[in-house]
């Protein structure tokens, strides 16, 4: 084995990584300088969030800046006070459908949603509350992230789901929130206990899911839920209902 050649290759990889980090840092500085001039509120946003938009836009500073500023405007409209109080989302919380548990093996916090408990949105007020609910929930998820962590894992459980829970508008809205305003936050998405009757609905939803997001989808059959989840989540971090040791914590209590 040619050890000298191996060492040279390793040195090349290190140099490439250093150049990549320098390029990213340079573009991050350019982006911050631009967005802070456009919106002073940008000064309160940390580099992790700006970095997510840069990755989302493949390091294109102009596109990343536009997307980020659009996010700030959207967030200001949904949460003018800066955060969402539980009194603003009582209907969504009453459905008891979103929980947090532990962390996966990559130290990403895990959220669990029970689609069979969802009550379809009805009208503008209901849609506005849904938006507030997801801002509230994603703020909770972000608060659980360790330093340097920018992603979370998501388990979507279809147990008990029926046509009475069908809500294409909700799916479209949540996808838009996650993909447009919280890009690159989803690390892995596990869809479990999906009923066969959902396949027709899935065909309607798929076009709204971007390719990058589709790559993160993992479909898990009922009999394989525990074994598949344990591949990525330690038993002491997995919810009891999936064969782990943790009790699920309602989003409002996390």
* One domain for residues 107 and 49: no
CATH of the domain at 224: 3.40.525.10
* One domain for residues 95 and 53: no
* One domain for residues 69 and 124: no
Q: 108 — phi, psi (to 5°)? A: -95, 130
The answer to whether the beta carbons of residues 181 and 208 sit under 8 Å apart is no
The answer to whether the beta carbons of residues 201 and 164 sit under 8 Å apart is no
pTM of the model: 0.88
* Least-confidence region, from 17-21, 148-152, 155-159, 234-238: 17-21
- With a cut of 90, say whether residue 147 has pLDDT above it: no
pLDDT, tens digit, 9 for 90 and up, residues 26-84: 999 999 999 999 999 999 999 999 999 999 999 999 999 999 999 999 999 999 999 99
Q: 116 — phi, psi (to 5°)? A: -70, -10
Residue 183 CA to residue 50 CA, distance in Å, equals 10
Residue 181 CA to residue 64 CA, distance in Å, equals 11
**For residue 72, which of 34, 36, 42 has the smallest C-alpha distance?**
42
* One domain for residues 213 and 113: yes
Domain count for the chain? 2
* One domain for residues 64 and 142: no
* One domain for residues 219 and 156: yes
Residue 93 CA to residue 248 CA, distance in Å, equals 15
Q: Residue 158 gets which letter from DSSP?
A: -
Tokens of 90: 């009582």
Quickly state the pLDDT bin for 13 (edges 50, 70, 90).
low
From 77, 102, 123, give the residue that closes a domain: 77
The answer to whether the beta carbons of residues 106 and 188 sit under 8 Å apart is no
From 51, 77, 103, give the residue that closes a domain: 77
* One domain for residues 17 and 60: yes
Cα of 33 vs its chain's centroid, Å: 26
SS3 155: strand
Residue numbers of the domain that contains 187: 86-253
* One domain for residues 242 and 155: yes
* One domain for residues 59 and 97: no
* One domain for residues 98 and 222: yes
Tokens of 65: 């800046």
* 241: Cβ contacts below 8 Å, ≥ 6 apart: 248
Residue 64 CA to residue 161 CA, distance in Å, equals 37
CATH of the domain at 32: 1.10.8
What average pLDDT does the segment 240-251 reach? 96
For residue 152, the model assigns a pLDDT of: 97
* One domain for residues 20 and 58: yes
* One domain for residues 121 and 41: no
Sheet holding 186-192, edge to edge: 217-220, 186-192, 152-157, 109-114, 98-103, 249-250
């Amino acid at each position: 084995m040619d050890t000298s050649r191996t060492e040279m290759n390793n040195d090349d990889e290190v140099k490439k990584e250093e150049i990549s980090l320098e390029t990213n840092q340079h573009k991050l500085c350019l982006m911050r300088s631009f967005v802070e001039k456009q919106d002073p509120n940008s000064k309160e946003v940390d580099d992790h969030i700006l970095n997510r938009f840069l990755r989302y836009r493949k390091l294109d500073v102009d596109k990343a800046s536009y997307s980020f500023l659009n996010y700030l405007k959207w967030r200001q409209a949904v949460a003018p006070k800066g955060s969402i109080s539980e009194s603003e989302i009582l209907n969504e919380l009453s459905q008891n459908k979103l929980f947090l548990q532990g962390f996966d093996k990559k130290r990403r916090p895990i959220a669990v949603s029970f689609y069979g408990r969802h009550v379809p949105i009805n009208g503008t007020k209901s849609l506005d509350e849904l938006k507030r609910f997801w801002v509230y929930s994603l703020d909770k998820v972000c608060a659980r992230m360790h330093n340097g962590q920018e992603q979370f894992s998501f388990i979507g459980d279809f147990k008990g789901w029926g046509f009475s829970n069908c809500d294409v508008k909700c799916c479209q809205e949540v996808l838009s929130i996650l993909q447009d305003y919280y890009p690159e936050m989803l690390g892995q998405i596990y869809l479990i206990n999906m009923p066969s009757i959902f396949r027709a609905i899935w065909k309607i939803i798929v076009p709204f899911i971007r390719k990058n997001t589709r790559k993160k989808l993992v479909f898990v059959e009922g009999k394989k839920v525990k074994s598949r989840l344990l591949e990525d989540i330690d038993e002491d971090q997995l919810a009891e209902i999936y064969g782990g040791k943790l009790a699920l914590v309602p989003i409002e209590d996390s």
